[in-house]
Structure 1
Amino acid sequence: MAGYKEPGFADRVAAAAKARESALARLKDKPAIDPAVVAERIAREQERAAAQAARSAERAAERERLREEAKAKKIVPPAPEPVPQLSEAERKAARDAKYAARKARKSSN
């Protein structure tokens, strides 16, 4: 019984050429595209593009209308609540409590 023979360079080139010929034959056998189908596809794409442009224009008009309403109402965002200012002693007590809590967590582990 003969063992496996690794294909050489010439064998690989011949296989590639055969595959290329086979692919070209399949392409040649393919029927040409009907011009009516092409025209229909182009028309559908143009309709889709026109509908998208119309939606985009509607959205832009809505955004502009909302901007105008906001300007007319002069909407002002609420002012942030003032942050309470702690004294030095209060800040030190808060910091010490934070460190004590961390130390307690570490010692319990």
Structure 2
Amino acid sequence: MAIYREKNFAERRDAAGVAKKALLEKFKARPAADDPAVIARQEERKRILEARAIREAEKEKLRQERLAREAIEKAEREARAEAERLAAEAAAQAEAKAREAEEADRISRVLSDEAERKAKRDARYAARKARGKRMPPSANYG
């Protein structure tokens, strides 16, 4: 089993110096800006960015077309719903008028029946008055 040994300050300082030197060497080894490989990479990046911009523009165009199509469909749906609502309203009004007419007809029939019954009752009363008062048969023998 290995025993862990803590590094002292000098070892840590030396390790940091070695790491800094490695980073500096890596930076110095980097090709210059006029190197053909660097220029080729930059041109490739430009082509990629241009292609990405074209794709983004196409996506945006498609999105705008989709939004316009959805807006048109929504307007059509709302127009159909409004027409259906107006038709339902008209049907409800017609039904209400029919019910009112039916109720008025029923009321007029009831009133005419009542007037007819009153007329018959009045006729019976008038006939009874016209016949005059009669004495009951038992009243004559008294």
TM-score category (smaller protein) = 0.3 to 0.5
Larger Rg: 2
Q: TM-score, normalised by structure 2?
A: 0.36
Q: TM-score, normalised by structure 1?
A: 0.45
**Structure 1 or 2: more helix by fraction:** 2
